Amino acid sequence: MMTKALIEHIEGEASLYFDTRGEKITWAEIAFPHFRGMERMLEGRKATDALVITPRVCGICGHAHLMATVRAIEAAYAQAGYPVELTRKARSIRELTLVLEMIQNHFKWLYLVILPELEKLGVGGISPAPLKGAYAAAQATKILALFAGQWPHSSYMIPGGVTCDPTHLERIQAAGLLDELIGFFEKETAGVGLDALLSFASCREFNPLQSDLGRLEKGLIATEMHKKGMAYDRFVVLGEHGFTVRARLKHTRPMKADPSQVSTEPAVCRDETSHARNVRYGKHFYEVGPLARSISADTALIKNMHRRYKDSVYTRVMARAYETAVLLQHAKTLLAELELSEPSYVPPAPLERISAEGEGIVEAPRGPLMHRMRLERGIVAEYGIITPTQWNLGSSVMSDPAPAQKAMVGAADIAEATFVFRSFDVCSVCTTH
């Protein structure tokens, strides 16, 4: 029997179509119905206009799109023989604001999506407090805005650097706000100090925690999520950053990853037109996101979880929640090491001279985000975007399911399958753009 479920609270909606035997899920297809035409509208525009348009692909990760765009333009400069010079300062400010966007995303997902959904599965004592997520996210975006001007939808990264020129005043303000946010995270989310949490080596260490993270961990075990939702146990990280390592992984074994191996095709759904795409590396589907990043970065705790519970919902969810701590720590380091004396911006060659192709890749909250463009004398001739959710949430045929499809098969019922689906942090707007 085919059953349809409408999934919302995922930056738009998706439809899931289930084949079931009894209650059990035997097959699932995924459709994303909304399409907006972002790539086409860039054609014919000056490449720098893309810095204003592409953040509007997504209200929750627009900054990642901005960074992918600026990296793609800079790559085109390099290909055309005019390499762009970036100061260390410009690099670290860009990375800092990106990391803060990831932090706000993770807080929202944990408090507005995952904890309430876990409670719906019948786990007691979760007491979800969605507004905590909004509060913490707003603190993170406040720090971000000190450098980027605003969030969402800033356009402060430009070829050659950043437009801002922060002084120690902003740096100290930012450090104060970040300490406050870390304090909130320690008290409310973790129930333990950041340093202590970051030194966790085994899931047992969550046992004594009376905190949201502690309740999350127990709830996932209570619902047996450590035995469910396995995908391929293959991962890809493509963005290059200080908090993870570019790699392709089979289980935990890393190999080189080459972005030119990435390809896409339209997603398949028998019952509804879907505007999503399937993304593969070589011939295969891979999972992307915080779990991939943590394994690639050799994060002790997540590797321990993976050793016990493989790429289950438990490991996937805990990896995302735990990455918040890793990123808070990374933000702190970036801020402390920020060298303000360097220039923010080194003017590049005139854009009109650039006829070339460029690719920009960043790790967005949900995984690698790729922008590819072709420029003719500085004007966009072609623009293509591959988003992380397309990797995880494609929809393919039974003999070759996309990661989320594979993870949902075998779920006890529809409620459980949709929780598995949400463990990937679904984003409808990015999936279709």
Chain contacts with another protein (rule: CB under 8 A): 6, 8-9, 11-13, 33-34, 36-38, 40-41, 45-46, 48-49, 51-53, 56-60, 62, 90, 108, 112, 116, 130-131, 134-135, 137-138, 141-142, 144-156, 158, 160-168, 173, 340-341, 343-345, 347, 429
Q: Which is nearer to another protein, 98 or 302 (CB)?
A: 98
Task: State how far the Cα of 85 lies from the Cα of 294, in Å rounded to an integer.
Answer: 30
Residue whose token pair is 């348009």: 53
Q: Which is nearer to another protein, 10 or 197 (CB)?
A: 10
Gap between the terminal Cα atoms of the chain: 31
Q: Which is nearer to another protein, 148 or 325 (CB)?
A: 148
Q: Which is nearer to another protein, 114 or 407 (CB)?
A: 114
- For the CB of residue 349, give the shortest distance to another protein in the complex, in Å: 14
Q: Which is nearer to another protein, 34 or 310 (CB)?
A: 34
- For the CB of residue 128, give the shortest distance to another protein in the complex, in Å: 9
Q: Which is nearer to another protein, 97 or 296 (CB)?
A: 97
- For the CB of residue 275, give the shortest distance to another protein in the complex, in Å: 12
- For the CB of residue 125, give the shortest distance to another protein in the complex, in Å: 18
- For the CB of residue 94, give the shortest distance to another protein in the complex, in Å: 12
Q: Which is nearer to another protein, 215 or 228 (CB)?
A: 215
Q: Is 229 left (phi over 0), alpha (psi -120 to 50) or beta?
A: left
- For the CB of residue 345, give the shortest distance to another protein in the complex, in Å: 3
- For the CB of residue 336, give the shortest distance to another protein in the complex, in Å: 15
Q: Which is nearer to another protein, 72 or 295 (CB)?
A: 72
Q: Which is nearer to another protein, 19 or 170 (CB)?
A: 170
Nearest CA-CA partner of 93 in 337, 346, 369? 337
- For the CB of residue 57, give the shortest distance to another protein in the complex, in Å: 6
- For the CB of residue 5, give the shortest distance to another protein in the complex, in Å: 10
